[in-house]
Chains A and B, each alone.
Chain A
Amino acid sequence: MVTRQRWLIGSALLVAILATVPLFTDRRDLLNLLFLVYLAVCLGQSWNILGGFAGQVNLGHAAFFGIGSLVARNLWAVQNYPFSLAFVAGGLAAVAFAMVIGMPTFRLRGVYFAIGTLGVGEVLRLTTANALPLVSALPTELVNTYDLASRYELALGLAAASTLAAYLLLSSRLGLGVLAVREDEEAAQATGVDALRHKLAALAVSALFAGLAGATFAYYHVSYYPELAFSPHWTFDAVLITFIGGVGTLIGPVIGAVFYVLVREQLAVTLVSVHQVIFGILFIVVVLTLPGGLVDLSSRLRRPRKRAK
């Protein structure tokens, strides 16, 4: 299909161009901002895979982020393994944890799944806060070799990879089953779709990218607060980004991430808490009136006819 090819080529070009940015500039503020955007894209895409595609509202997403972060940080900064190893290990650890909790929690329906995952996330946060020191710093050699450009590239790669993964999932047979489960789990089950297996698959991919994002977070920060990695705000951010951009769509988390990070950085300078109020209101507006998010808004503006109910 020509359009699809165009999109793929266009996206690849965009990523390639963005990858060259560190070659042209040394500005830390720009690189940091883009880093945050890329991290946000990955965060959104990872949540969207379970929350948007599979329709399972996971309020404990921060747990995956935190585990990936903790494992990676420990292996890299404390035990001195190369970061590439720590990175992968972080992602896998998150997936392993997800599989363990996935089995019991997926037996819960709807809202009970949401609050169950919320509970899990909180247990992890509190346990981490109690068991680990408040903050740790990087050993000196790692501080000396700290290079923002590589963090930038990693985050960009992750944003691209998570989006690609979402795309591949959507166009696969597995993805079809996942979407069917979202629409009507019982009906899907009746037509032979093993709902649990599909939900677990979506959960695995979701946890993987959340964990890798967490690992990237651990790589990025010099001083590291373990409890922060498990903070529910990662979940909130993921949910906000996804919904504002357009839940269940491929490009939604990208748009949402760009919008969210840019607006937040802009507002946080002037009005500290107000930006969260604005996002909260925007989120509510989206849920109530614009379920498709900003993605839907643009297409609605282009074809102003009433949607059939």
Chain B
Amino acid sequence: MSPQLIAQNLVFGLFVGSNYGLAAVGLSLVFGVLRVLNVAHGELLMVGGYVTFWLFTLTGLDPFLSALVCAPVLFILGLALNQGLFGFVERLDEETKIKNSLLISFGLTLVIQNAAQALWTADERSVSSSLVAGGTVVLGVALPYTRLAGLILALLTIVALHQLLQRTYFGKAVRATAEDWEAASVAGIDVQRTYLITFALGAALAGVAGTLVSIQYSIAPAVGIAWTLKALVVVVLAGLGSIFGAFAAGLLLGIAEQISVFILGAAYREVVGLVLFLLVLVLRPQGLFGRPH
């Protein structure tokens, strides 16, 4: 077991984990602020992947660039979904709201997944980038540029989100609403509007994640649920309250999976994450980085 091999696995774990982290951040944001658990989050990611695919197939737009189109498109979709669907349950008391939004997003999962299947067939689609190709080797560790670019794009998105939340007035409104929506309302914040925009942001983040997934994996209607589950695992691992925490938990999961593949073989890759998820859920519900409820 050479240090190169270990480093290679770690690096690959980071690459994979950055996708997990980005996929989770949108889900975490929406749940933290709106207390809405959108299990259709993975479907939005999948739609983002298809947007990238169709842009690539029809216009030849490089997938990495289509993230710039994907984000606004999914943002608008998020606005529509919140306005036309989730908005109806957001005024309810928290327990009913959480339960009903869970059920609604479950129905939405069925709708989006099967609509995608009806429209675009169950075939797997993939894209390739002409801008970013090839790779380099550093200290014996292979670094494919596609993967590296994915990691960088994910990081940039996270940093941008963080800046938005920390430095802008809107960001403060979002954080205040997440802590105590009544107090936020009294302070002059339009809570319904904050919910709307935050939800749309979550969708946009899913879209960008979908772009990266379409490049690094493949896209098919069935992948939505898998990514929802992955995002859920990361959100539970991280706990609520920190964007960077969610991203970090994603990276950790990626690394943990790599290690387990190394030891147990590829077949049990998914199981590792789920087992960790269940352990954290039962033993430390606030997650690794979250604040106690």
Asked if the two chains touch in their complex, CB atoms less than 8 Å apart, one says yes
Residues from 272 to 309 in A contacting B, C-beta threshold 8 Å: 272-274, 276-277, 279-281, 283-284, 287-288
Whose C-beta in chain B lies nearest to the C-beta of A236?
A: B110
What A residues does B275 contact at CB under 8 A?
Answer: 123
Among B5-13, B95-103, B181-189, which stretch is in contact with chain A? B95-103
* Residue of A108, A123, A239, A279 most packed against chain B (CB within 10 A): A123
* Residue of B110, B233, B236, B281 most packed against chain A (CB within 10 A): B110
Partner of A276, one of B106, B114, B233, B271: B114
Residues from 131 to 157 in A contacting B, C-beta threshold 8 Å: none
What A residues does B113 contact at CB under 8 A?
Answer: 276
A126-B281 contact, Cβ under 8 Å, with A239-B106, A280-B111: no
What B residues does A271 contact at CB under 8 A?
Answer: 118
Query: A122 contacts B98, CB within 8 Å?
Result: no
B226 nearest CB across to chain A (Å): 10
Query: B98 contacts A110, CB within 8 Å?
Result: yes
What A residues does B155 contact at CB under 8 A?
Answer: none
Interface code B250-282, partner A: CB below 8 Å = 1, 0 otherwise? 000000000000000001101100110110011
What A residues does B61 contact at CB under 8 A?
Answer: none
What B residues does A127 contact at CB under 8 A?
Answer: 271
- What CA separation (Å) do A283 and B267 show in the bound complex? 35
A118-B229 contact, Cβ under 8 Å, with A111-B98, A130-B268, A288-B88: yes
B85 at interface by CB-CB < 8 Å: yes
A180 nearest CB across to chain B (Å): 16
Q: State the main secondary structure of chain B at its contact with A.
A: helix
B104 at interface by CB-CB < 8 Å: yes
- What CA separation (Å) do A273 and B119 show in the bound complex? 9
A118-B110 contact, Cβ under 8 Å, with A123-B275, A284-B104: no
Whose C-beta in chain A lies nearest to the C-beta of B275?
A: A123
Query: B108 contacts A284, CB within 8 Å?
Result: yes
Query: B233 contacts A119, CB within 8 Å?
Result: yes
Whose C-beta in chain B lies nearest to the C-beta of A113?
A: B281
- Count residues of chain B with CB under 8 A from any CB of chain A: 38
Whose C-beta in chain A lies nearest to the C-beta of B265?
A: A130
Given A108-B285, A114-B102, A274-B118, 18 other A-B residues pairs in contact with their CB atoms under 8 A: A57-B99, A57-B103, A108-B281, A115-B232, A115-B236, A116-B281, A118-B232, A119-B233, A119-B274, A120-B278, A122-B270, A123-B274, A236-B106, A239-B106, A277-B110, A284-B104, A288-B89, A288-B100
Whose C-beta in chain A lies nearest to the C-beta of B278?
A: A119
A307 nearest CB across to chain B (Å): 16
- What CA separation (Å) do A273 and B21 show in the bound complex? 31
What A residues does B115 contact at CB under 8 A?
Answer: 273, 277
Q: State the main secondary structure of chain A at its contact with B.
A: helix
A287-B229 contact, Cβ under 8 Å, with A107-B282, A126-B274: no
- Count residues of chain A with CB under 8 A from any CB of chain B: 37
- What CA separation (Å) do A115 and B285 show in the bound complex? 12
A32 at interface by CB-CB < 8 Å: no
B225 at interface by CB-CB < 8 Å: yes
A91 at interface by CB-CB < 8 Å: no
Write 9 A-B pairs (CB below 8 A) sorted by A numbering: A57-B99, A239-B106, A273-B114, A276-B111, A276-B113, A276-B114, A277-B115, A280-B110, A287-B103
What A residues does B270 contact at CB under 8 A?
Answer: 122, 126
- What CA separation (Å) do A283 and B106 show in the bound complex? 9
A242 nearest CB across to chain B (Å): 11
- What CA separation (Å) do A274 and B278 show in the bound complex? 34
Residues from 86 to 128 in B contacting A, C-beta threshold 8 Å: 88-89, 95, 98-100, 102-104, 106-111, 113-115, 117-118
What B residues does A123 contact at CB under 8 A?
Answer: 271, 274-275, 278
A289 nearest CB across to chain B (Å): 9
Query: B285 contacts A284, CB within 8 Å?
Result: no
Q: Which 6 A-B pairs give the minimum distances between C-beta atoms?
A: A280-B110, A280-B111, A284-B107, A276-B114, A283-B107, A273-B114
Query: A287 contacts B117, CB within 8 Å?
Result: no
Query: A287 contacts B107, CB within 8 Å?
Result: yes
Query: A104 contacts B282, CB within 8 Å?
Result: yes
- What CA separation (Å) do A236 and B117 show in the bound complex? 17
- What CA separation (Å) do A111 and B31 show in the bound complex? 11
- What CA separation (Å) do A236 and B225 show in the bound complex? 12
- What CA separation (Å) do A280 and B115 show in the bound complex? 10
What A residues does B277 contact at CB under 8 A?
Answer: 119
What A residues does B111 contact at CB under 8 A?
Answer: 276-277, 280-281, 284
What B residues does A276 contact at CB under 8 A?
Answer: 110-111, 113-114
Query: B271 contacts A280, CB within 8 Å?
Result: no
Query: B102 contacts A57, CB within 8 Å?
Result: yes
Interface code B56-67, partner A: CB below 8 Å = 1, 0 otherwise? 000000000000
- What CA separation (Å) do A276 and B108 show in the bound complex? 11
Query: B109 contacts A280, CB within 8 Å?
Result: yes
What A residues does B110 contact at CB under 8 A?
Answer: 236, 240, 276-277, 279-280, 283
B161 nearest CB across to chain A (Å): 23
B37 at interface by CB-CB < 8 Å: yes
Interface code A99-110, partner B: CB below 8 Å = 1, 0 otherwise? 000001101101
